[in-house]
Chains A and B, each alone.
Chain A
């Protein structure tokens, strides 16, 4: 039996990524926007951390470090989610979806291309902020060690799961669901224990908090920053929950994509 020829699949994925990369090359405001918010956030929270350290001494220094770590890692989730959702919205804004969906591009290849763009967008946004935190505030995120890669992977997967949900809602409700691409993840931030441990939250909220993969990453981050230990239990929980979240989001997308083909939404997707 001959192995399947995967080259056409990778070319189709690259084709859609090339479309977005060409767009960014020709649009400096889009390039600027990628790094603008992460850097702005880093400046605000960096000065806050410096203020805390100056007023409170060592406890303030520790609080500042967890604050900056939280800000940077939260940006990984946020930029991954927005990178995917906004790349999909770009197709709607340019009225190009009709051409894309009548090409041989499979829905999973579309998702793969959006994930590829999400990774590129996230790196272009977050890496300058990480370097800035290092240069301005002497906060080196890389001191977390290799576990940082596992944190990044989990946060990105969570971002993609939420983005798939947003894309599904756009397929179902048209561009009327567009504001979700910017706002939906902020709704999960209070429960993700980004800046504080889960123990701070009211008891009845904690189950919801523990159902989010991000919560386990941020608990793990604090373990690594404060005690220099890797909390493998939290990491395992993050991977397990991400599996459930991404599977649920993929199921939702498949269902909504089919529903859009039944209702005709793919032809008229817009406002």
Chain B
């Protein structure tokens, strides 16, 4: 079964069609990349997947739940991380984690925090206010918050944005490890093409609200005759090259 099924999804803001009749699926246990330039509709799509935004038309099914009718059942089994959404800065990391532990009804929340602190190396910063952390530490804390409920589906919006290469690599390694161990499905929106090539088994390319291509990274490289996804991304973004017919 697919963890995410999106069918004929559209979102219109007045005269602007932000998402235009897109359909895609994320197989359970896969990491799917949602790629596109600024304004392609990635954030709007993720917001609709999270129930933050009501679609103009179309249907979203997450973990078997219709998001229009039963979104809270799905939300309890998924989680989300984005560098653009903060955690309360005056609360310590531990307090923030407890808040979300309660919101997601996590059993033995302090034990879960201890496990995540060990795995993500948060021990030394657990009792520091979230607002006093470096960008890399904040990213690890945001990831820990996103994993507090052992999600079956993880939505990540640019999880390594503004991180140095070392910290970015640590986060990517940890995500690979977590997906392998937990069988979790990951939907990743990113502008980092190397990251997408490394983590994703499927890629959905968006442009001006439409799905313009899809496939595995290898399939896309072959189709466009390129050696890396960045070149494929630029081909699509700048209408430079069409996919080579199979």
- Contact check, B52 vs A23: say whether CB atoms are below 8 A apart: no
Please name all residues of chain A whose beta carbon is closer than 8 Å to the beta carbon of B98 when the two chains form the complex: 15, 18
Please name all residues of chain B whose beta carbon is closer than 8 Å to the beta carbon of A3 when the two chains form the complex: none
Interface segment, one of A213-221, A230-238, A239-247, A256-264: A256-264
Please name all residues of chain B whose beta carbon is closer than 8 Å to the beta carbon of A262 when the two chains form the complex: 53-54
Does B76 reach chain A (CB closer than 8 Å)?
yes
- Contact check, B91 vs A26: say whether CB atoms are below 8 A apart: yes
Closest CB-CB distance, A80 to chain B, in whole Å? 23
Nearest residue, chain B, Cβ from A95: B86
Please name all residues of chain A whose beta carbon is closer than 8 Å to the beta carbon of B91 when the two chains form the complex: 19, 22-23, 26
Does A199 reach chain B (CB closer than 8 Å)?
no
Interface segment, one of A102-110, A118-126, A176-184: A102-110
Contact residue range for chain A? Answer: 20 to 34
Asked if A94 meets B86 with Cβ closer than 8 Å, knowing A8-B105, A11-B105, A19-B91, the reply is: yes
Asked if A94 meets B47 with Cβ closer than 8 Å, knowing A105-B103, A267-B52, the reply is: no
Closest CB-CB distance, B155 to chain A, in whole Å? 8
- Contact check, A258 vs B54: say whether CB atoms are below 8 A apart: yes
- Contact check, A267 vs B54: say whether CB atoms are below 8 A apart: no
Interface string of B72-105 (1 = CB under 8 A from A): 1001100110101111111110010011111111
Does B60 reach chain A (CB closer than 8 Å)?
no
Q: How far is the CA of A8 from the CA of B149 in the complex (A)?
A: 13
Asked if A102 meets B99 with Cβ closer than 8 Å, knowing A23-B88, A262-B54, the reply is: no
- Contact check, A267 vs B95: say whether CB atoms are below 8 A apart: no
Contact residue range for chain B? Answer: 35 or more
Does B43 reach chain A (CB closer than 8 Å)?
yes
Choose from A19, A98, A258, A263 the contact partner of B99 (Cβ within 8 Å): A19
- Contact check, B51 vs A102: say whether CB atoms are below 8 A apart: yes
- Contact check, A267 vs B103: say whether CB atoms are below 8 A apart: no
Does A147 reach chain B (CB closer than 8 Å)?
no
Q: How far is the CA of A100 from the CA of B91 in the complex (A)?
A: 15
Please name all residues of chain B whose beta carbon is closer than 8 Å to the beta carbon of A16 when the two chains form the complex: 99, 102-103
Q: How far is the CA of A26 from the CA of B54 in the complex (A)?
A: 37
- Contact check, B54 vs A261: say whether CB atoms are below 8 A apart: yes
Choose from A14, A94, A96, A99 the contact partner of B102 (Cβ within 8 Å): A14
Please name all residues of chain A whose beta carbon is closer than 8 Å to the beta carbon of B51 when the two chains form the complex: 101-102, 261
Considering the complex, which residues of chain B in the window 24-64 have a beta carbon less than 8 Å from any beta carbon of chain A? 43-44, 47, 50-54
Going nearest first, the 10 A-B pairs with the smallest beta carbon separation are A15-B102, A98-B85, A95-B86, A8-B105, A104-B76, A103-B103, A94-B88, A15-B103, A19-B99, A102-B50
**Chain B residues in the interface with A (C-beta under 8 A):** 13, 43-44, 47, 50-54, 72, 75-76, 79-80, 82, 84-92, 95, 98-105, 129, 145
Cross-chain pairs A/B with CB under 8 angstroms, 19 sampled: A15-B103, A18-B95, A18-B98, A19-B88, A19-B91, A22-B92, A98-B82, A98-B85, A99-B85, A99-B87, A101-B52, A102-B51, A103-B75, A103-B104, A104-B104, A258-B54, A264-B44, A264-B52, A266-B52
**Chain A residues in the interface with B (C-beta under 8 A):** 7-8, 11-12, 14-16, 18-19, 22-23, 26-27, 90, 94-96, 98-106, 258, 261-264, 266-267
